Amino acid sequence: MTNSSLTVLPTFIIGAGIAGLSCARKLQDAGENVVLLEARYRIGGRVQSIKNGLSTYDLGASWIHGIENNPIWDIVQKSGITTTVFNYDESNFYHKNGQIFTSTEKQEFECYIEKINHLLSQTKINAALEAVHEIIGSLTYSGTIFLEQDLKELLLSFFERLANDPFATDLSQLSAHYQQYEGYFDGDEVIFPDGYYQVIANISENLDIKTGIEIRKIALKNNHVELMDQHNVTYLGSRVIVAVPLGVLKNKMEFVPSLPAEYIDAIQKIGFGSFNKVFLEFAEPLPFRANNSLDSISDFYWFNGHWFNILDLSGIYHKPIYLMLFGGKQSVFIDHAPDNKVWDFIFSSLNANFPKIPTQPKNLTITRWGIDPYSYGSFSFPTFEHQENRVEILNQAIENRLFFIGEHCSSKYAGTVHGAYLNGCETSQKIIKLKLNLE
């Protein structure tokens, strides 16, 4: 191969999720020859919208987390995509007996949560579980309207639940400084009644995307890159941008020569968790929701030492559809359990708190991202060993020919769609600048 032939070799992007698509979009618009290779027979990655009757479910990403200055919101507005405001920071809480917290109880409980969050922001302890235990043990509970031991148990479980959602892990694995890494924009949170995939369709228009091609091996040669797929077909390119989920990097991609030690360390030590959704459709509204005079669409109820959260989507779908979100060990259970066992688990928790829960849902839709062979999980999170330089390392190109992108490469917005989108855009600018310097 001669140097002159390099000009015709494409830039390959492995993975047609939001990061790969945003990077390809910017590069192609700048005149680059870009080809996306996607292992699935669809694009979008962890953005996946499906039809269920007349309803559209987002099995992966659902929310735009804050619309102010959010690039995803900009795309939505320019494209005329319909969204619905869906803030669920206002929630109802229920006691172990299914009685809803009074306004005074809720106010006091949330006040303690705020106190703990404030103290966590100042702690020198790295592990969230240790820090939360220490803080709960140090607080003064005189004058509380709860029994002190009950309140401590409810608070600890709340932070265990927070590790599950939105961080896709357990409190024992989470950094105590998670608030620094949440990465949301200000403003309303919105969802897509007709699916997040509309954003994917907009970004991917007229891109060269080949599906059903799983790249398993990446080799850096003297003056090009060589990729090999599941059928041992070889692809030659000028450079490669790896836009696969962190779970795939951890489990099944080979690099020749082997990646430098600091890249391997970063890939293995950045957290990556399982986060699953269960959509429940019933013939009639759940009784405790039908009788609920409050405006909130989010209910936290207590079962077997854990907070469970159920979201009422009836206002969006105009029929009794609910969503439950699971992270950490509960999500891993769902990854491996059959549908009937998942429903038994959910039914037991609801039935212990509320009367007249239907013995079966009309429809049940369950995700299992943790065992998906093209993701092995849902999104990244800051572990108690988190070091920002590991993310910075993944943002450094190897020989200016091998690049990594994705939500796990975002230092400010990890675990989000906008983080993946922005990281793809940033890397495209690096490549464009690099080419200009070479010319």
For residue 292, the model assigns a pLDDT of: 55
One domain for residues 176 and 211:
no
Q: Are residues 251 and 227 in the same domain?
A: yes
Q: Is residue 350 part of a domain?
A: no
Last residue of a domain, one of 148, 180, 212: 180
pLDDT digits (tens, 9 = 90+) for 370-395: 999 999 999 999 999 999 999 999 99
This model's pTM is above 0.85 = yes
pLDDT at residue number 3: 39
* pLDDT reported for residue 435: 79
Residues 265 and 381 both lie in one domain: yes
In a domain, 228, yes or no: yes
Is 4 a member of any domain?
Answer: no
Residue 234: inside a domain, yes or no? yes
Tell me the C-alpha distance between 404 and 239, whole Å: 11
| 403 within 8 A of 397, measured Cβ to Cβ | yes
Same domain, 21 and 156: no
Determine the straight-line distance between the first and last CA of the chain, rounded to whole angstroms. Answer: 20
Distance of CA 144 to the CA centre of its chain: 36
CATH number at residue 204: 3.50.50.60
In 217-375, which ranges are continuous DSSP H helix? 246-251, 261-269, 287-290, 314-317, 328-336, 339-351
Owning domain of residue 139: 103-180
Q: Are residues 171 and 28 in the same domain?
A: no
Q: Which pLDDT score, from 0 to 100, does residue 212 have?
A: 99
Q: Is the pLDDT of residue 216 over 50?
A: yes
For residue 359, tell me if it sits in a domain.
no
d(CA 294, CA 415): 31
Domain identity same for 175 and 233: no
Do both 385 and 258 map to the same domain? yes
Number of domains in the chain: 2
pLDDT of 305 > 60? The answer is: yes
Please check whether residues 170 and 214 belong to one and the same domain: no
- Rounded to whole angstroms, how far apart are CA atoms 199 and 203? 6
Residue at 263 is within a domain: yes
Q: Tell me which of 12-21, 177-186, 324-333 is least confident.
A: 177-186
Q: What confidence tier does 44 reach under pLDDT thresholds 50, 70, 90?
A: very high
Tell me: do 114 and 153 sit in the same domain. yes
Residues 233-263 have pLDDT tens digits of 999 999 999 999 999 999 999 999 999 999 9
Domain end call among 123, 156, 180: 180
Q: How many helices (DSSP H) and strands (DSSP E) are in the chain?
A: 14, 21
Name every residue whose Cβ is closer than 8 Å to that of residue 235 and which is 6 or more positions away in sequence: 12, 37, 215, 226, 227, 228, 229
Whether residues 216 and 175 share a domain: the answer is: no
Let me know whether 27 and 172 are in one domain. no
Among 152, 180, 208, the domain-final residue is 180
